[in-house]
């Protein structure tokens, strides 16, 4: 039998001379034999690739993918990556990029963590900082911001709504040093007059995203927002005149828990928002890509208000809409097997979606689902909050099971009718958020496809 070989002649050699058998010889064997005949040392094999031999930019990406413990304490160590000085020099800055000092930890531990940020030279590496302040020693707390000049994202949390107070002047002085800050979140502050000489657009030139929970007018709490692209408000007063409508792409206005006035009602603020947007629209078209409004109200005309609001916006480019705490969607507050979706509400939702021809993502958040039976009924060890949280997860699982078993029309008719209504819209991603961090996400890749559902739980 003759076997054909595709090897070239140089890949083969004769053993023993003459017409002996042919055997395969690798290039490495040839090099070794040649070296031995010359009396020289054998060639050194090329080194294998290892973590230490990777380029710095690759190492940086590798360490960026590691899930670090982001809660800071002065004794933090990175023993896992102490392979050599070079590895440490790359890993340590990555490890220090995201830091959280919670306001809920014990005072001693919190104070030690804050002091650690002041004495650590590596504080300059921090890019994302979430820190809880008490405003007990404001100058010490402001000094921390001076030691983190490269921040791009900052969350400043002042305890709780009951402790809301004006930010000291030193904080605004510290903000001026944050030239790279892109996103700022401030929780629980109060101000009835703007800070003299301070403007975010001038003093924090890179700022594009702001989330603020505050008592007072937006113009007083956050002056100078002309460069802002994303704004989330938890404010007592809407302050539409202070909103940069020409640059804003994402607006989220939530029903504030900071209410100090008995005259304040969600419906009144909702009307104020609509009036403000209509007035601004007369001066210049308002183009938003994402809009979120959250108001817990029993006003049955809220959906019509949404339609009026969207009518004042240029919504041809809006791809993301969130409707939050909308109690007029009463169809979603039901007991199993007894739900009916009111035609008026469903038609109202269809009107809203028809106004947004490019809409792809729809959030219906904090909608109350209830389940008739749970295993913990009658258990005195469960308080009302725990029982409701249990039911929220229970009903989420039951909805997903009903979808899998093709039994949704009978067990959860309101959800079924909603999904049927969404099939004829442009929505590709429907997110139903149930209280207590439970939710259902229904997605499809094209309008002619059916939705596929999956559950999620937020931390």
Ordered by start, the domain boundaries in the chain are 265-459
Q: Strand 452-457 vs strand 438-443: parallel, antiparallel, or unpaired?
A: antiparallel
Report pLDDT digits (tens) over 162-191: 666 778 889 999 999 999 999 999 887 777
CB 14 within 8 A of CB 20: yes
Summary mean pLDDT of the chain: 73
Burial class, 247, CB count within 10 angstroms (exposed 0-12 / middle 13-18 / buried 19+): middle
- CA dist 225 and 248 (Å) reads 10
CB 250 within 8 A of CB 229: yes
CB 313 within 8 A of CB 281: yes
What pLDDT was estimated at residue 241?
A: 75
- CA dist 419 and 408 (Å) reads 10
CB 228 within 8 A of CB 209: yes
Interval 439-457 mean pLDDT:
89
pTM, 2 dp: 0.71
Would the pLDDT of 32 be above 80? no
Interval 268-291 mean pLDDT:
82
Residue 71's pLDDT band (cuts 50, 70, 90): low
**23 phi, psi to nearest 5 deg:** -130, 155
Would the pLDDT of 81 be above 80? no
- CA dist 102 and 125 (Å) reads 19
Minimum mean pLDDT among 98-102, 335-339, 430-434: which range?
335-339
What pLDDT was estimated at residue 206?
A: 97
- CA dist 319 and 80 (Å) reads 43
Give the residue, 377 or 86, on which the prediction is more confident: 86
What pLDDT was estimated at residue 389?
A: 53
- CA dist 190 and 129 (Å) reads 22
Residue 101's pLDDT band (cuts 50, 70, 90): confident
- CA dist 26 and 32 (Å) reads 10
- CA dist 342 and 338 (Å) reads 13
- CA dist 116 and 74 (Å) reads 5
Report pLDDT digits (tens) over 187-231: 877 777 888 889 999 999 999 999 988 777 888 888 999 999 999
What pLDDT was estimated at residue 82?
A: 53
What pLDDT was estimated at residue 344?
A: 59
Q: Tokens standing for 339?
A: 């739900």
């Amino acid at each position: 039998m003759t076997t054909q070989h595709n090897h070239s002649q140089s890949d083969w050699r004769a053993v023993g001379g003459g017409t002996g058998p042919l055997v395969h010889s690798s290039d490495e064997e040839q090099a070794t034999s040649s070296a031995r005949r010359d009396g020289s040392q054998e060639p050194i094999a090329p080194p294998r690739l290892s973590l230490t031999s990777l380029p710095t930019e690759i190492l940086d990406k590798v360490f960026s993918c590691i899930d670090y413990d982001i809660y800071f304490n002065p004794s933090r160590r990175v023993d896992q990556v102490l392979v050599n000085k070079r590895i440490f020099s790359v890993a340590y800055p990555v490890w220090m990029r995201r830091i959280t000092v919670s306001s809920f930890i014990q005072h001693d531990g919190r104070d030690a963590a804050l002091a650690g940020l002041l004495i650590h030279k590596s504080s300059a590496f921090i890019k994302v900082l979430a820190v809880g302040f008490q405003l007990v020693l404001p100058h010490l707390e402001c000094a921390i911001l001076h030691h983190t000049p490269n921040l791009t994202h900052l969350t400043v949390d002042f305890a709780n709504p009951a402790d809301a107070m004006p930010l000291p002047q030193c904080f605004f002085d510290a903000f001026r040093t944050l030239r790279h800050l892109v996103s700022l979140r401030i929780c629980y502050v109060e101000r009835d007059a703007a800070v003299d000489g301070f403007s975010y657009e001038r003093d924090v030139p890179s700022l594009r995203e702001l989330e603020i929970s505050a008592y007072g007018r937006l113009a007083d709490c956050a002056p100078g927002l002309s460069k802002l692209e994303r704004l989330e408000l938890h404010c007592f007063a809407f302050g539409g005149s202070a909103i940069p409508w020409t640059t804003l792409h994402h607006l989220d206005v939530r029903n504030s828990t900071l209410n100090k006035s008995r005259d304040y009602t969600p419906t009144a603020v909702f009307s104020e928002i609509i009036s403000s947007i209509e007035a601004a629209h007369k001066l210049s078209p308002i183009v938003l890509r994402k809009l979120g409004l959250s108001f817990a109200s029993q006003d049955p005309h809220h959906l019509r208000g949404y339609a009026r609001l969207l009518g004042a916006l240029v919504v041809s480019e809006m791809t993301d809409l969130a409707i939050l705490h909308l109690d007029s969607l009463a169809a979603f507050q039901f007991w199993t097997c007894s739900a009916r979706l009111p035609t008026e509400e469903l038609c109202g939702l269809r009107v809203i979606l028809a106004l947004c021809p490019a809409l792809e993502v729809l959030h219906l958040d904090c909608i109350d689902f209830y389940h008739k039976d749970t295993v913990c009924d009658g258990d005195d060890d469960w308080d009302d909050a725990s029982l409701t949280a249990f039911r929220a997860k229970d009903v989420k699982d039951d909805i997903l099971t009903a979808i899998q078993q093709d039994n949704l029309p009978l067990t959860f008719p309101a959800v079924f009718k909603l999904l049927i209504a969404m099939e004829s819209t442009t929505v590709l991603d429907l997110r139903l958020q149930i209280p207590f961090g439970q939710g259902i996400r229904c997605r499809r890749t094209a309008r002619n496809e059916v939705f596929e559902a999956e559950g999620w739980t937020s931390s």
